[in-house]
Structure 1
């Protein structure tokens, strides 16, 4: 997703080869698979790539991981990266369709060329229409519904949804579903949009959230679409004079700090979208399609998994043993 968990932005193409640890079987020629997804400075995507790397190693193959970096002209540049991948005519593509308006034509062209496309994370609502053969990731509406239900159960009546990736319909769908739950229970809410250029600027995020709280001190619930933003929301609430737990705060994405915040009670929950599984299964589905012409009958949904206070320390401990699986930085 261009997630929240953060967005990648683009002007230059990065192609990374993830080498497997074993040679491919002699009777099973190695397919050419390209995965187009997010930037590795975002812990969500570093975990996703680790999953794909591990799948490649277990299968005994190599693959290409392609992404973009830079915060200028993201939608056009992301489309260009997909276009370049299609031009290679690989055996299969795994694509994070974070900006469908820009990326759909390239995905549809790949399908027309009989290149199997697996849509990953972004683009859940339209993957079948694009001619993709499968989807792996999460349903953003379900993320928003579950987060909204938790907030309502905890008495939230005025909610804020923080979207730091404007223009990404997956994240917009999560916010819409979240606020819809609040409003159906006679509450109210709005979206706080963080400018794309400020998505990786903690101070800009902090100031925006604190400003919203100071402008409307009746806000009693916050949902963020990134783990970093959840931590900053807790800090903003403290700086705006709210006591710990006075505002119900939850966020999508895991970082060390947000897990510590969940454990200590300043953040009520974190949502693990399990990007490692998205990377692993994305590559596995592509391989199985190319080599064996096998696919699951339904999309592969690997999130959301909600993390609460009694889960957080166990995940922190696990990450010291298996670094990067949960995308923690």
Structure 2
């Protein structure tokens, strides 16, 4: 995957930020089983768990029911919470207004920090401003790369969706695709739109956008099937989530199409499909890492005043391609629910 010089520079900053955060975490935690004070007088931790005061962190996402991507995000967040002596309160709603209400609930509960996704940032800006005014640190993950700073978030952990889409389009060129259908499962989600727009920017063939209802898989299947029957020249289906990709496999079969399938995002079943050859490749943005870093960053800020990237640069967790050449090295982690 080719990235621009500015993207490479941003990634370098991000990797440095992650390394710094890891070092600071180790400084704040000790594996000493005695839980004693350090010689400098700082608090140590027992069995790798922070002995710092108990915190409550709210993680509020735009997860749609049945979307397994968020199980991986949540697993990472829970791992960080267990290490940092944090009570994690997870809530989600794909409706932007409802998601904003969930953030308001977290403010009313006077949590110590909020991690939030910004799939529809305009609907979230007012409630985030309320959190900031209340003195609650807020960081972002997964969606909202273009808006996180202007909304007052302290840090952001995720993938540059435009860069990912552009890299995807270039890879499709090398695969020989000519006519692509890009399937968007949630209309109005800026991250998904950026992915398809990125593909269109670098792909040399034709790109069509197909909207489906990602919360209704039978409807997704029938809509993709109908499109493939209507246009037999489509030779590539691009999906933006692992569950949609797995559904597209059945749609291709039902339509009698010869179209190939590639996708953004992974899960255990998707990794298996790449191994079997029913799906060509996937872009991995490491959702486990997004959840982990978003929660851990709030602990670092609360206890040390640390924040990654100087509050100016995001920490990028992707993109990276997973295909037949490297899928076996990812499979064991996918089986554990961490990729």
- TM-score interval (norm. to shorter): 0.7 to 0.9
Superposed displacement of residue 124, structure 1: 1.1
- Aligned positions of 1:188-227 closer than 5 A: 188-195=206-213, 199-227=214-242
Superposed displacement of residue 39, structure 1: 5.8
Q: Structure 2: any 5+ residue segments left out of the alignment?
A: 1-45
The range that moved more, 29-38 or 147-156, is: 29-38
Superposed displacement of residue 34, structure 1: 1.5
Q: Structure 1: any 5+ residue segments left out of the alignment?
A: 1-19
Q: Output the CA distance in 2 between the equivalents of 1:171 and 1:21.
A: 41
Instruction: Provide closer, same or farther for how the CA distance between residues 109 and 318 of structure 1 changes in structure 2, counting only shifts above 3 A.
Output: closer
Superposed displacement of residue 268, structure 1: 0.8
2:75 paired with 1:62: no
Q: Report the structure number with the largest CA radius of gyration.
A: 2
- Aligned positions of 1:85-234 closer than 5 A: 85-182=106-203, 185=204, 187-195=205-213, 199-234=214-249
Q: Output the CA distance in 1 between the equivalents of 2:269 and 2:73.
A: 19
Cα deviation digits, residues 133-188 of structure 1 (max 9, x gap):
11011111122111111111222222111001111111111111112222xx3x22
Q: TM-score, normalised by structure 1?
A: 0.82
Query: Which of these residues, 313, 320, 325, is aligned with residue 338 of structure 2?
Result: 325
Superposed displacement of residue 216, structure 1: 1.2
Tell me if the contact between 2:72 and 2:337 (Cα under 8 Å) persists in the aligned partners: yes
Instruction: Provide closer, same or farther for how the CA distance between residues 167 and 105 of structure 1 changes in structure 2, counting only shifts above 3 A.
Output: same
Q: TM-score, normalised by structure 2?
A: 0.79
Query: Which of these residues, 43, 54, 66, is aligned with residue 68 of structure 2?
Result: 43
RMSD: 2.1
Superposed displacement of residue 56, structure 1: 1.4
Tell me if the contact between 1:21 and 1:57 (Cα under 8 Å) persists in the aligned partners: no
Q: Output the CA distance in 2 between the equivalents of 1:269 and 1:67.
A: 28
What SS does the corresponding residue of 2:279 show, helix, strand or coil? coil
Superposed displacement of residue 24, structure 1: 4.7
Instruction: Provide closer, same or farther for how the CA distance between residues 296 and 152 of structure 1 changes in structure 2, counting only shifts above 3 A.
Output: same
Tell me if the contact between 2:76 and 2:338 (Cα under 8 Å) persists in the aligned partners: yes
- Aligned positions of 1:270-285 closer than 5 A: 270-285=282-297
Q: Output the CA distance in 1 between the equivalents of 2:224 and 2:285.
A: 23
Q: Output the CA distance in 2 between the equivalents of 1:36 and 1:167.
A: 18
Q: Which residue of 2 aligns with 1:32?
A: 56
Instruction: Provide closer, same or farther for how the CA distance between residues 324 and 318 of structure 1 changes in structure 2, counting only shifts above 3 A.
Output: closer
2:302 paired with 1:287: no
Q: Output the CA distance in 2 between the equivalents of 1:155 and 1:324.
A: 32
Q: Which residue of 2 aligns with 1:236?
A: 251
